[in-house]
Structure 1
Amino acid sequence: MSKSEQQQARTIDRVNTTLAQRYGRERRFRRFGFFAVVLGLAFVGVMFLSIIGKGYSAFQQTRILLDIEFTESVIDPSGERDPAVLSSANYSALIKNSLRALYPEVKDRKEKRELYGIVSNGAALILRAKVMADPTLLGSQAQLWLPADDDIDMLVKGYIDRTVVQSERRVKDNVIAWIEKLESEQKIGKFFNTTFLTGGDSREPELAGIGGAVMGSLYTLIVTLLLSFPIGVAAAVYLEEFAPRNRWTDLVEVNINNLAAVPSIVFGLLGLAVFINFFGLPRSAPLVGGMVLTLMTLPTIIIASRAALKAVPPSIREAALGVGASKMQTVFHHVLPLSMPGMLTGTIIGMAQALGETAPLLMIGMVAFIVDIPGSAMDPATVLPVQIFLWADSPERAFLEKTSAAIMVLLGFLIVMNVLAVILRKRFERRW
């Protein structure tokens, strides 16, 4: 073999060695990437399983079957059926009478208080609502499933261990004996918790619901959508299609990009200073919350809308202008309809981000304890993330499952909104 052939063979060997090392590095990189994806999915799966495992039970509510006698002398002594009298009657006495009849052996005053405590304080409100809706119940007797106290609810669901010593659990031995009697007589059971989905907030865990927070989030998002979408699209169209290229527009574009990275609590401070302190708008109102979230989501919508406009080929504009269309007609009749799917996708993503925000809404007072479900964007309200924040800070064990269940509902809304964005993009996206 000649010297040149030997040198060529050595060169080929070095190249093959280098290729083998490069291919080995590529395989290791792919393995690391695959491992990172699997690890991330595993962590997300563990998070979802943890939340579901702690929160699914909140969709069930423990109720006790009681024989309620709607004694007319207790509810309406005068017999005039005055709504004011019926509303202010002592309905708790009806529940106490039923419990005493169920446990006649309980005589001690302290034990009676413990006996009365196995039924929720909200049970009296349920009886009042029934009588107000149908006064003919007076003088009759009915069997009703009434909500149990939160500690009893936790006991029935298995979150309180009955085998540990009495000093280490919240429910005493005599109360457990009463519950076991109800279980043996099939007078206690778990039902779907409609109150959790339709009710407002409450100091009592068994009466607390996300209905008020969901309506507050709905009104807030409606205000945000009505303000952010037209303003964001109009700003994107102007900057991309009509604005002259100078230092002023460059400054505006830089500030829009910078605003997308500003911490959300800064927008809350701005809303507090401008909308509440300067303009005097009501605190805790979805109107103010929607305006604050509009400021936060506008950069996202503008950036996504400009990217959608840039994706439209120049040939579309040139063809429209070539057949005599004006600049305005070209943009609004051709360019804007073709870019609308991308704009809608960016808007939905921005709205999903707004739905999960807490910090800016805390600054404008939407952290207040709101019991009533809001009826408009001007009524005091809270939103779902803030409701989760409030419940997470509560010491009662029953609020832990409420918190996890509310997170499940919030994640469900976020998943639906993101899936909708993907569907819109796949359905209407045009590839050029």
Structure 2
Amino acid sequence: MTDQRSQAEIVRESLKVRYRKERRFRLYGMAAIAVALLSLLILFTDIVGKGYTGFIKTTITLDVSLDGEAMYLEDARDKDQLSMADFQAPIISALQEYFPEATGRKDVRELKRLVGSYAGNRVRNLLTEQPELLGTTQTMTFLVHDTVSVYVKHAGSDAYSIRLSEQQQRWVDELVEKGVVETAFNDVFFSRGDSREPSNAGVLGAIVGSLFTMVVTIAIAFPVGVAAAVYLEEFAPQNKLTDFIEVNINNLAAVPSIIFGLLGLAVFIGLFGMPRSVPVVGGLVLALMTLPTIIISSRAAIKSVPPSIREAAEGMGASKMQVVLHHVVPLAMPGMMTGSIIGMAQALGETAPLLLIGMVAFIVEIPDGFFSSATVLPVQIYLWASSAEQGFVELASAGIMILLTFMITMNAMAIWLRKRLERRW
């Protein structure tokens, strides 16, 4: 009896110890999830906190007198005179209407720094298109200088240093009070390519470049990856050669992406002489990088098709090719598409291989084809983040927000396709 009681006590003690271990393990798991969510929250908070102002532009609206004498321009139709005219002069004169005391050379120089360097181009383009406006007064809106934009949007922030003189700050404060300097949605950010001045820089060129690159990537990687998966899973003989191929495919999925960039640099540019910084070369490099992921996911999708499907088709007299093309591949396609979308999302965020093939170039124009010079979103973010101007910091964070939006959308689409099209056998 004593032995039985002691045995029962031993069992109860062991159960208590096991339950305590299970509770500790559960707490460790919950703590790990909490730390991961907290880190993600801090990351997103930092990105959004720095990037939301990238979607805001700061403008200044002035009544500009297009005085030909001040601009040294007698005939706006004369190209030689247009090339020599001073288009900043009427802008300075418009600012002096608000600050008549600013007459010295130093004051004029500081007034000039309130408006972006492309303001004179606006005046020139206006007179080039409508030369009859010479001698009239026009209400024009310009983008302010980057330092003014930083001051207006981050005057009370310690993260940004104000690079305006005290006099310039007083001028800007007065213009803000009068409604001359205003903030609005930054449509420039979504309608232009890169620029040396943050207020004129846009992300459209990088988005279009990413689109062209992804089209090339999916056009090559998806059919080749699916065909390779079908052959290896359904037709390839089981021998040392296929084992060697399978091992290398699995190894290629873990190869650092910069290796594929070196391969593209050596083969596509060095051997075949293809141009640098074009979406075709970028798409080829990313297709090579994405192929292992698509092959592995496609093979897993093919394996998930029950053998009974194949047996039923063969029992009806279908050939091996008909079984695969008419039954196995259609049923495995949802899994193939899910893996392909995840692989494309990974390729969309790659930077290292594209840096090696020259897609780090400064691109101002919007690319209009697969062989046009272009850059992509991750590389554009890298360029902005490495720039010295403070305005590029918020543009880089805004670009990260756009890139994350694309990647989250693609992953959500993959999850939706999997839930929508998957079949339980």
Partner of 2:415: 422
Q: 2:68–2:134: 8 Å Cα contact kept in structure 1?
A: yes
1:131-150 alignment runs, 5 A limit: 131-135=127-131, 137-150=133-146
Matched, 1:242 2:238: no
Q: 1:155–1:161: 8 Å Cα contact kept in structure 2?
A: no
Partner of 1:58: 54
Q: 2:147–2:162: 8 Å Cα contact kept in structure 1?
A: no
SS at match of 1:202: coil
TM-superposed CA distance for 1:134, in Å, is 4.7
Moved more, 147-156 or 118-127: 118-127
1:69-88 alignment runs, 5 A limit: 69-71=65-67, 74=71, 77-78=74-75, 81=77
| Distance change (3 Å), C-alpha of 1:84 and 1:305 | farther
Partner of 1:113: 109
> 1:92 pairs with 88, 93, 98, which one?
88
Letter in 2 for 1:327: K
Whole-Å separation in 1 of the counterparts to 2:224 and 2:72: 57
Whole-Å separation in 2 of the counterparts to 1:223 and 1:88: 45
Partner of 1:251: 244
Moved more, 186-195 or 261-270: 186-195
> 2:100 pairs with 99, 104, 121, which one?
104
Cα displacement string for residues 392-424 of structure 1 (whole angstroms, at most 9, x for unaligned residues):
111221111111111111111111010000000
SS at match of 1:258: helix
Whole-Å separation in 1 of the counterparts to 2:100 and 2:268: 61
Matched, 1:46 2:39: no
Cα displacement string for residues 270-313 of structure 1 (whole angstroms, at most 9, x for unaligned residues):
00000001100000111100000001000000000000000000
Partner of 2:346: 353
Whole-Å separation in 2 of the counterparts to 1:376 and 1:305: 31
Whole-Å separation in 2 of the counterparts to 1:87 and 1:304: 60
SS at match of 1:189: strand
1:381-400 alignment runs, 5 A limit: 381-400=374-393
Letter in 1 for 2:192: G
Partner of 1:413: 406
Moved more, 397-406 or 84-93: 84-93
Whole-Å separation in 2 of the counterparts to 1:84 and 1:186: 37
Letter in 1 for 2:320: K
Whole-Å separation in 1 of the counterparts to 2:416 and 2:143: 42
Q: Percent identity?
A: 53
SS at match of 1:11: helix
Q: 2:75–2:81: 8 Å Cα contact kept in structure 1?
A: no
> 1:179 pairs with 172, 185, 188, which one?
172
SS at match of 1:157: helix
Q: 2:66–2:135: 8 Å Cα contact kept in structure 1?
A: yes
Q: 1:75–1:86: 8 Å Cα contact kept in structure 2?
A: no
SS at match of 2:54: helix
SS at match of 1:370: coil
Matched, 1:25 2:18: no
Whole-Å separation in 2 of the counterparts to 1:394 and 1:221: 26
SS at match of 2:423: coil
Letter in 2 for 1:377: F
Matched, 1:283 2:276: yes
> 1:232 pairs with 201, 208, 225, which one?
225
SS at match of 2:229: helix
Whole-Å separation in 2 of the counterparts to 1:373 and 1:88: 29
Partner of 1:195: 188
Cα displacement string for residues 296-332 of structure 1 (whole angstroms, at most 9, x for unaligned residues):
0000000000000000001011111110111111111
Cα displacement string for residues 81-104 of structure 1 (whole angstroms, at most 9, x for unaligned residues):
467876875432332232233322
TM-superposed CA distance for 1:160, in Å, is 6.2
| Distance change (3 Å), C-alpha of 1:94 and 1:349 | same
SS at match of 2:254: coil
**C-alpha RMSD of the superposition:** 2.0
> 1:321 pairs with 305, 314, 321, which one?
314
Q: 2:150–2:162: 8 Å Cα contact kept in structure 1?
A: no
Number of residue pairs aligned between Structure 1 and Structure 2: 423
Matched, 1:15 2:11: yes
Letter in 1 for 2:269: I
Letter in 1 for 2:98: L
> 1:338 pairs with 309, 315, 331, which one?
331
Whole-Å separation in 2 of the counterparts to 1:314 and 1:130: 72
Gaps spanning 5+ residues in structure 1: where? Answer: none
Partner of 2:372: 379
Matched, 1:302 2:298: no
| Distance change (3 Å), C-alpha of 1:334 and 1:135 | farther
Letter in 1 for 2:151: L
Whole-Å separation in 1 of the counterparts to 2:406 and 2:352: 19
| Distance change (3 Å), C-alpha of 1:336 and 1:47 | same
Letter in 2 for 1:335: V
Whole-Å separation in 1 of the counterparts to 2:422 and 2:38: 32
Whole-Å separation in 2 of the counterparts to 1:191 and 1:265: 40
SS at match of 1:282: coil
Whole-Å separation in 1 of the counterparts to 2:209 and 2:310: 43
TM-score after normalising by structure 1: 0.93
Partner of 2:304: 311
Q: 1:87–1:132: 8 Å Cα contact kept in structure 2?
A: no
TM-superposed CA distance for 1:161, in Å, is 6.7
